[in-house]
Amino acid sequence: MATGIGTAVRHQVDFRIRAGRLLARTSLYMVLSLGAFLFLVPFVWMVSTALKEAGDVMKFPPEWIPQPVLWGNFVEAFTQDYAPFGIFFKNTIVITATAVFGQLLSASLVGFSFARLRWWGRDYLFLVVLATMMLPYQVTLVPVFVLMKVLGWIDSFLPLIVPFYLGGGAFYIFLFRQFMMTIPLELDDAARIDGCGTLWLYARIILPLSGPALATAAIFSFLAHWNDFIGPLIYLNSVSNYTLSLGLRILQGYGGYGIQRWNLLMAASLFVMLPVLLLFFFAQKYFIQGIVTYGVKG
Amino acid sequence: MHKGKLWRRIRPHAAGWLCASPWILGFLVFTLGPMIWSIYYSLTEYPLIRPPVWVGLDNYRFMLQEDKFFFNSLRVTTLYAIVAVPLHLVMGFLMALMLNQKIRYIALWRTVYFLPSVVSGVAVALLWQWIFNSDFGLANWLLGLVGIDGPSWLLSPTWALPALIIMSLWGVGGSMVIFIAGLQGVPQALYEAAEIDGSNAVQRFWHVTVPMVSPVILFNLIIGLIAALQTFTQAFIMTAGGPKQSTHFFMLHLYNNAFQWLKMGYASALAWVLFAYILIATLFVIRSSSLWVFYEGEIKGR
């Protein structure tokens, strides 16, 4: 009998604990779902607006499923002659591709130098690299602009590309250095014994082994150049040289003062975001790795 | 022969210097040189079309005594940082705690929360300008669902800055990911030991989790603070500083002076003030961190 009561009590306690856990679980999932809804609904809103007729955009409460679904908005966003998006797209690709390439090339070479070579002054200069991470770009904004003007580079792509071939920025150098430090040093010795020169060592041994660092750096560099706004805003004057960011800015004024064509604007914005989102879905691992390297190991 | 001997001594260093030379050149041409020029410009009047004219400290005097936007832009930027940065830390941390448990479809949940933080720039600013549209926007529709008559957001001097803060929270996934990595670095043994000592979940949170991830909190705090003090694109696209200067961020003021009014000298002075502000704020945070940040090495060192 005693055991029976004991079991019953134990069952009851068990039940309470389990009920408590279930409650905690359920509320956790509810909070997470509500949060996920709030984080995703702007995207849905954007797509929905991008596919609406101009008149349906100004309906409240909003119609979530556009009737009719107007895929033509993407075509119109691209072909209206107010802001030639085809040209902006091409310009952005040219600038981004050239700048990313230079940034990877030069940051990996410099990172290689700091990680794998021994030379006088190296550690002091690395401190300088880290110090420049702390320097806000505003301090050099005006003099660099004046320099570009003196060089005659205003309204060309050069100010948005050339600086990245010279070191590629402290964050990227740091990223490559940290990664290359983890490659066993014996490899260098073996390569040296085989009569391998420094550049060969970099190009044929260390760089091919730095795949993850390259992928992470490529993603962050791509994001930075693709989304850059203040650079093009300052340096590019003629519309034929504009990038997508600046294109969106002029499309904002399309349709007269104060009246914005939100369906076209959302279609164009979605188009600008799309490469980033695609990249994210294919390479999420490297996005997270980059942030974590910076945050935890940094 | 003598030359050869010297070369043999330099050679091992030359390779390193050569490989680092792109950065050394870039540092001199695009960082150190411009910094020195910037100090000089900040002491001149320089309308770009004429050479700079030395005015001593007059730019700084003008800033403090005559520029009617200066203190307001400092106030707006500070207010934004003081509200947005702690909100980011708390939200990012809470989300990381939730997504660091054994739950179903964990990767999917994390992706959902992380996703908005990867998009940025003008496209995002436009999206949120539309979301905050006072008549047809998503924000007021959502508020309407719970029976709240929403404000006019970007058109209201009271609500424009809060709108930008809410928008910035959409990107909290970045700090969440860093927090998750930090949480995963906490040794399980510490929790087990604390449990054996009879602690409850709340105690374990405050005495194990928080101290162990405090370096990550510090990192997120500093990065968030620096980014907040440099806010530009959102304000430029969505509000252009208005209404009634309520979103007139410091960086917007600097941009207008440099590239709208071509006051390069004065803009350089503003840049140095921003630099000093960021530096002091960062140093203050780092100084204070000895009170609340716990480094594992401290115990091992003792």
* Chain A interface includes B254 (CB < 8 A): yes
Q: What's the pTM value of the predicted model, to 2 decimals?
A: 0.90
Give residue B230's pLDDT: 94
Residue B141 pLDDT class (50, 70, 90 cuts): very high
The total domain count for chain B is 2
| CA–CA distance, A241 with B222 (Å, rounded to integer) | 36
Give residue B297's pLDDT: 62
Give residue B301's pLDDT: 44
Nearest chain A residue (CA) to B134: A60
Shared domain for B188 and B295, answered yes or no, is yes
The tens digit of pLDDT for each residue in A44-90 reads 999 999 999 888 888 888 888 888 888 888 888 888 878 889 999 99
Shared domain for B182 and B236, answered yes or no, is yes
* Residue A2, pLDDT above cutoff 70: no
CATH of the domain at B246: 1.10.3720.10
Q: Which residues 141-200 of B are in CB contact (within 8 Å) with A? A: 141-142, 144, 170, 173-174, 177-178, 181-182, 185
Q: Let me know if residue B63 belongs to a domain.
A: no
B270-280 mean pLDDT: 95
B254-280 exposure pattern, b = at least 16 Cβ within 10 A, e = fewer: bbbbbbeeebbbbbbbbbbbbbebbee
Residue of B109, B177, B178 lying closest to A32 (CB–CB): B109
Shared domain for B77 and B183, answered yes or no, is yes
Shared domain for B25 and B132, answered yes or no, is no
The tens digit of pLDDT for each residue in B160-174 reads 999 999 999 999 998
Q: Let me know if residue B265 belongs to a domain.
A: yes
Shared domain for B80 and B41, answered yes or no, is no
Contact check, Cβ <8 Å, A295/B170? no
Last residue of a domain, one of B38, B58, B78: B58
The tens digit of pLDDT for each residue in B179-204 reads 998 898 888 899 999 989 988 888 99
* Residue B241, pLDDT above cutoff 80: yes
Instruction: Tell which residue, A268, A291, A264, has the closest CA to residue A52.
Output: A264
**Secondary structure element (H or E) that encloses residue B47, with its range:** none
Give residue A39's pLDDT: 96
A139-153 mean pLDDT: 95
Q: Tell me what ipTM this predicted complex has.
A: 0.89
* Residue B229, pLDDT above cutoff 80: yes
The tens digit of pLDDT for each residue in A170-207 reads 999 999 999 999 988 888 888 888 888 888 899 989 99
Give residue A5's pLDDT: 62
Q: Domain range for residue B42?
A: 2-58
Shared domain for B119 and B42, answered yes or no, is no
The tens digit of pLDDT for each residue in B90-130 reads 999 999 999 998 888 888 999 999 999 999 899 999 999 99
Shared domain for B46 and B79, answered yes or no, is no
Judge contact between A100 and A222, C-beta under 8 A: yes
Shared domain for B45 and B173, answered yes or no, is no
Q: Let me know if residue B176 belongs to a domain.
A: yes
Residues of A with CB below 8 A from B109's CB?
Answer: 32, 36
Q: Let me know if residue B254 belongs to a domain.
A: yes
User: How close is the nearest chain B Cα to the Cα of A4, in Å?
Assistant: 30
Shared domain for B188 and B149, answered yes or no, is yes
Shared domain for B33 and B93, answered yes or no, is no
Q: Which two tokens stand for residue B253?
A: 């003021």
Residues of B with CB below 8 A from A119's CB?
Answer: 12-17, 20
Residues of B with CB below 8 A from A40's CB?
Answer: 112, 115
Output B10 or A225, whichever has higher pLDDT. A225
Give residue A236's pLDDT: 96
For chain A, which residues make up each domain, given as ranges? 2-72, 74-297
Shared domain for B128 and B28, answered yes or no, is no
Strand B53-54, strand B44-45: pairing: antiparallel
Residues of B with CB below 8 A from A273's CB?
Answer: 119, 123-124
Residues of B with CB below 8 A from A249's CB?
Answer: 122, 237
Give residue A1's pLDDT: 45
DSSP B212: H
Residue B63: phi and psi, rounded to 5, are -55, -45
Give residue A298's pLDDT: 46
**Alpha-helical regions (H) of chain A:** 2-50, 54-57, 72-79, 85-116, 122-134, 138-151, 158-161, 170-181, 186-193, 198-200, 207-209, 211-227, 230-235, 244-251, 262-282, 284-292
Shared domain for B38 and B172, answered yes or no, is no
Residue B35 pLDDT class (50, 70, 90 cuts): very high
Residue A257 pLDDT class (50, 70, 90 cuts): low
Contact check, Cβ <8 Å, B112/A228? no
Contact check, Cβ <8 Å, B41/A173? no
Contact check, Cβ <8 Å, B48/A288? no
Residue A256 pLDDT class (50, 70, 90 cuts): low
Fold of A74-297: MetI-like fold (1.10.3720)
Residues of B with CB below 8 A from A272's CB?
Answer: 121-123
